[in-house]
Structure 1
Amino acid sequence: MTSFAPVHPQQVPVSQPALRLDNVTKSYGSGSARVTALDAVSLALPAQGFTAIMGPSGSGKSTFLHCAAGLDQPTSGSVWMGDTQVSALKPKARTMFRRDHVGFVFQAYNLMSSLTVEQNVTLPLLLAGRTADRGHVEQILESVGLSRMNRRRPAELSGGQQQRVAIARALVTRPGVIFADEPTGALDSRTGQQILLLLRDASRELGQTVVMVTHDPIAAARADRVLFLASGRFAGHLDAPTAGAIEKSLTDLGQW
């Protein structure tokens, strides 16, 4: 049994939650082949926080991200971003909501090779039929260290620089929540730490809410808190985490 306290919605500091899951369950298959990837998960995360989600392989991390971000529908329960019940939206409306209100940063940068840095960053605005605020775009590029690279194309950038473009793209729409899925997995240690600092700064200085799924205790230690999943349920949390405390918690979880 782990030594840290189980997470309940009221235990995570809440003031107008940016993200809330109420009793969310996600199952696949039917009958004897039915698999429950998330099992009655409830939590509320405040705005302007940086939260890492961790757990053993098969714990439900990816399913949590997909349901929380509106990429997948829960089998039961509800997902809220701000005052919008995302899980109640029809597929087209949910897609439009994600485009306007959710930012994504993945291990694969998913940049358009034919577009410049600036064009890649402003692409979500173009797809939404919105005019880019030049001052805001310049501020975002400056914040991620790309202000002098705005006319370069992805092939002219290092992996770390390409991930900076992905972060800038996630920031440009002023999303309610940014979801990062193993954002440093393809980067060397030093570059990965720079990317984590950018995500932390996005939370602390730009007021963004960041939720990161990772298997790396060193990466998770950059977050304000770590929430642990095991067998589809929340199993505990750490505030102001250290890599050592995270490793111990993961070891304990692996013995469940």
Structure 2
Amino acid sequence: MHTSSSQSTRPAALELTGVSKSYRSESTTVAALRDISLAVPAGTFTAVMGPSGSGKSTLLQSAAGLDSPDAGCVLLGGTEISRMRGKALTRFRRDHVGFVFQSYNLLPQLTVTDNVTLPLLLAGRGTDRAWLAYLLDAVGLDGLGGRKPQELSGGQQQRAAIARALITRPDVVFADEPTGALDSGTARQVLELLRHTVTALNQTVVMVTHDPVAASYADTVVFLADGRIDGSMDGASARDVSDRLAYLGRN
């Protein structure tokens, strides 16, 4: 099994073993993932890269329990989720998985604090006020908890979305092109924040991105081509990633 970090002594927060996924239409079948095996150590930052159609989004969706693989096993925080269905899977995702997307998905009628704590409300759980205050401070929103999303910049809204992803203390935070809607300066701040959650909070982050600069913030970059893992790099620079992308699928 491919391990996505040189820190292989850490327990795995996420494990995929032999995961395959195809999508069928009336006339054709497209193999999105082909026998993917991957282990992501806890407390690490992994970026997943590859060209359009390589399987990046399907990998994230299968790993996060948003889609079910046709074959193989997905363990998240030591729990097999690949055979979970319905309410059990929904509850598990709510408690153990955090999501950050390109669109912030904040509710405009709610304050920052209410948006951040919404996952706890939906789960029927109380809010640890000390943890909330710590998170808002950690993401640079201290003093802004009473504002509505429309009163924030794009970068601040994404910071609120990251705090919301962290509020349940999830096993893994999955980020899907989290800087795609941001200018380069704001994107850098958000990437530094994701990096900080790994370093300071021991959070596990798996990020899908097309941007070599974004990928360079990760401990490990995993490359996909035609639904298969096509190698990885630890501690790669943006130039290293760009050079590697040019040769994807040629091995």
TM-score range for the pair, normalised by the shorter chain length: over 0.9
Q: 1:219 maps to which residue?
A: 214
Q: 1:230 maps to which residue?
A: 225
Residue in structure 1 matching 2:191, options 179, 192, 196: 196
Deviations 1:227-251 (A, max 9, x none): 0000000001000010011001101
Q: 1:8 maps to which residue?
A: 2
Q: 1:93 maps to which residue?
A: 88
Mapped partners of 2:166, 2:203: distance in 1? 8
Q: 1:68 maps to which residue?
A: 63
Q: Does 1:161 align with 2:156?
A: yes
2:180 maps to a residue whose letter is: G
Q: 1:44 maps to which residue?
A: 39
Report the number of matched residues: 250
Identical aligned residues as a percent: 58
Q: 1:107 maps to which residue?
A: 102
Q: 1:132 maps to which residue?
A: 127
Distance 1:239 1:10, change over 3 A: closer
Mapped partners of 1:42, 1:176: distance in 2? 19
Q: Secondary structure at the match of 1:236?
A: strand
User: Cα RMSD between the aligned structures?
Assistant: 1.6
Q: Secondary structure at the match of 2:201?
A: coil
**Equivalent pair of 1:14/1:44 in contact (CA under 8 Å):** no
Mapped partners of 1:66, 1:74: distance in 2? 9
> Structure 2 length normalisation: TM-score?
0.96
**Equivalent pair of 1:56/1:254 in contact (CA under 8 Å):** no
Mapped partners of 1:10, 1:164: distance in 2? 26
Mapped partners of 2:249, 2:79: distance in 1? 36
CA shift, 1:28, in A, is: 1.0
Q: 1:149 maps to which residue?
A: 144
Mapped partners of 2:130, 2:102: distance in 1? 28
Q: 1:242 maps to which residue?
A: 237
CA shift, 1:91, in A, is: 2.0
Mapped partners of 1:166, 1:62: distance in 2? 19
Q: Does 1:252 align with 2:251?
A: no
> Structure 1 length normalisation: TM-score?
0.94
CA shift, 1:8, in A, is: 2.6
1:155 maps to a residue whose letter is: Q
Mapped partners of 1:90, 1:254: distance in 2? 34
Q: 1:208 maps to which residue?
A: 203
1:114 maps to a residue whose letter is: Q
Q: 1:4 maps to which residue?
A: none
Q: Does 1:185 align with 2:180?
A: yes
